[in-house]
A and B are shown apart, each in its own frame.
Chain A
């Protein structure tokens, strides 16, 4: 048998290539640029490549092809939209990452050891976080456009591995940070093993690794159903793990809490987009015809996730954990978009992912601002009276919370409405009811935080609010604007999505 030399369409792949290039440059910078210039160089390289990638995505946003890389990726509307969202979210997250305060000077050094102290004093701050971010982003860009199982798996690892490391980079509470890295890594690897095993069985069923092949195989149901079903189940484990659905969520509260907040923001927002993007593609294209088999399964998971996330969030005392559980609940809401399995569901999911992602970054950006001598203060009880101390910060956070709660005039409400109506349209009434009820529960703890910030008197314990750096300010402002504008005039974006978002098989 003879091999055909692969033909690559570089224009369509350019965003990914740009980011990978940027990442490599970043590595070199890390090696050769003087420590004084390093941070700024890294930042500009990273931002530069991200912006460039975004421009590229825009330039190709009307293109669509299955043969961009020998049918192993599919460039189409949804893919590009998701890529764009990921890049935008990454950009505003990078603004946060730029705050070196958050990262350990020397990840390799022992916590509290001399070399760490020395590195701090000499300002010998390593900045490997930037290339790591870029690697992760490029993985995320591949994930939602991957259209065969190999690429999907590679992309999954490509986005995960850097994240594992980034979780361990916190300057403060390093033990916790490293622990979160370990947990994230072990569980991630564990779940990707499931993923791969599932992939194997699907391959066994379809004797093809491409989504189109799988789709056709299901269409003319040749082969052994049991393989397919086991495959779907195990593959889902991997994906559901990444989106943080119950009961595959356990990592997220710990990692969200342990990781440096900028990384948490990036992870919570961008990873969700990428993972759901992949999920949408595989379930909408490859498994579309086996709907009967996986809809009940996903509905079950969705309901459990919504309810569990909302309920447990009530009991949280730490703001980052609270946000983690809220993101779990949102994963549940987003699943109802996958279950919907219709155009409306796809559009809604994309809109929801973007809106939620931006709001999340904004929310965590606020978290980075509340500090005391020992660094960030994430204990909710110490957020009391924040509204008095710094009304603007508190109000912005309150606004993000209202967006999470899905109160009208915020992007969250439009998202919730569209995704629930899509799910209802596809007959997933149970999911919608569960969704509505759990949003009621969810509202409860968002409001509790607002009460803490505005209606309780501050306790003087040195908790203060950092004057945000101009970049952080930028992040917050952008997130606020997007959240508000999408809440009041979502029409342009919705139309844009509706016109673009159709999966190419």
Chain B
């Protein structure tokens, strides 16, 4: 089937992720939306690598997974600390800094 469809899919995923980041309050969920966007990008890479018949795209995908993993480590660390001190994982509660 036409590889372009995978592109559409990735765009769709990306959009879902982006919207999710904006609409969801729970930090964890927001973060997962970001991960979704990253994976959408990965999908795009792989698709293009298929379309262009060039392996680099797939290599990138691997790199991205690793990086994403690192992000999870750091991210969860931060989110957990916040949660412990605030007793809430809602990103809207953390709004001391403004204006």
Task: Report A-B touching, CB under 8 Å.
Answer: yes
Residues of chain A having any CB pair with chain B under 8 Å: 1, 107-108, 110-111, 149-150, 153-154, 157, 161, 164-165, 168, 174-176, 178-183, 185-186, 189-190, 192-194, 196-197, 199-201, 203-204, 207-209, 253-254, 257-258, 321
Report, nearest first, the 6 A-B pairs whose CB atoms are least far apart: A207-B52, A193-B37, A200-B44, A204-B48, A254-B97, A196-B41
The reply to whether A189 and B98 form a contact with Cβ atoms under 8 Å apart is: no
Candidates A168, A190, A201; contact of B34 at CB < 8 Å:
A190
Within the complex, the shortest CB–CB distance from B10 to chain A, in Å, comes to 8
A-B contact list, 22 entries, CB within 8 Å: A149-B60, A157-B67, A164-B74, A174-B85, A176-B97, A179-B95, A179-B96, A182-B78, A186-B27, A186-B34, A190-B21, A193-B14, A194-B37, A196-B38, A197-B37, A197-B41, A199-B41, A200-B10, A200-B45, A203-B57, A204-B7, A204-B44
B residues near A107, Cβ cutoff 8 Å: 81
Q: Given that A149-B60, A150-B59 are known contacts, is A180 also in contact with B82, CB under 8 Å in the complex?
A: no
B residues near A183, Cβ cutoff 8 Å: 94, 97
The CA-CA distance from A491 to B79 in the complex, in Å, is 49
* Count: A-B pairs, CB below 8 Å: 138
Candidates A193, A200, A208; contact of B54 at CB < 8 Å:
A208
The reply to whether A181 and B96 form a contact with Cβ atoms under 8 Å apart is: no
**Which A residue's beta carbon lies closest to that of B14?**
A197
Candidates B21, B70, B96; contact of A161 at CB < 8 Å:
B70
A residues near B56, Cβ cutoff 8 Å: 150, 203, 208-209
- Mark contacts of B20-61 with chain A using CB atoms, 8 A cut-off: 1 yes-contact digit, 0 otherwise: 010000010011001001101110110111011111110110
The reply to whether B63 and A150 form a contact with Cβ atoms under 8 Å apart is: yes
**Which B residue's beta carbon lies closest to that of A191?**
B34
The reply to whether A186 and B30 form a contact with Cβ atoms under 8 Å apart is: yes
Q: Given that A149-B60, A179-B82, A182-B91 are known contacts, is A207 also in contact with B38, CB under 8 Å in the complex?
A: no
Residues of chain B having any CB pair with chain A under 8 Å: 7, 10, 14, 17-18, 21, 27, 30-31, 34, 37-38, 40-42, 44-45, 47-49, 51-57, 59-60, 63-64, 67, 70-71, 74-75, 77-79, 81-82, 84-86, 91, 94-99
Within the complex, the shortest CB–CB distance from A217 to chain B, in Å, comes to 10
The reply to whether B63 and A190 form a contact with Cβ atoms under 8 Å apart is: no
Interface of A (DSSP majority class): helix
Within the complex, the shortest CB–CB distance from B44 to chain A, in Å, comes to 4
Q: Given that A186-B34, A208-B54, A257-B97 are known contacts, is A200 also in contact with B41, CB under 8 Å in the complex?
A: yes
The reply to whether A207 and B41 form a contact with Cβ atoms under 8 Å apart is: no
Which of A108, A178, A257 has the most B CB atoms < 10 Å from its CB? A178
The reply to whether B60 and A209 form a contact with Cβ atoms under 8 Å apart is: yes
Q: Given known contacts A165-B74, A189-B31, what 12 new A-B pairs fall within 8 Å (CB)?
A: A1-B55, A164-B75, A175-B96, A176-B96, A178-B81, A186-B21, A190-B34, A193-B40, A203-B49, A203-B60, A204-B44, A204-B52
Candidates B40, B63, B84; contact of A154 at CB < 8 Å:
B63
A residues near B84, Cβ cutoff 8 Å: 110
**Which B residue's beta carbon lies closest to that of A198?**
B41
The reply to whether B85 and A189 form a contact with Cβ atoms under 8 Å apart is: no
Within the complex, the shortest CB–CB distance from B45 to chain A, in Å, comes to 5
Within the complex, the shortest CB–CB distance from B94 to chain A, in Å, comes to 4
The reply to whether B37 and A190 form a contact with Cβ atoms under 8 Å apart is: yes
Within the complex, the shortest CB–CB distance from A251 to chain B, in Å, comes to 10
A residues near B95, Cβ cutoff 8 Å: 179
The reply to whether A207 and B74 form a contact with Cβ atoms under 8 Å apart is: no
A residues near B91, Cβ cutoff 8 Å: 182, 186
The reply to whether A207 and B27 form a contact with Cβ atoms under 8 Å apart is: no
B residues near A150, Cβ cutoff 8 Å: 56, 59-60, 63
Candidates B21, B55, B57, B77; contact of A165 at CB < 8 Å:
B77
A residues near B34, Cβ cutoff 8 Å: 186, 189-190, 193
**Which A residue's beta carbon lies closest to that of B30?**
A186
Which of B40, B85, B91 has the most A CB atoms < 10 Å from its CB? B85
Q: Given that A189-B31, A207-B54, A208-B56 are known contacts, is A161 also in contact with B71, CB under 8 Å in the complex?
A: yes
The CA-CA distance from A407 to B44 in the complex, in Å, is 49
The CA-CA distance from A175 to B56 in the complex, in Å, is 43
The CA-CA distance from A326 to B55 in the complex, in Å, is 44
A residues near B82, Cβ cutoff 8 Å: 178-179, 181-182
The reply to whether A258 and B31 form a contact with Cβ atoms under 8 Å apart is: no
**Which A residue's beta carbon lies closest to that of B34?**
A189
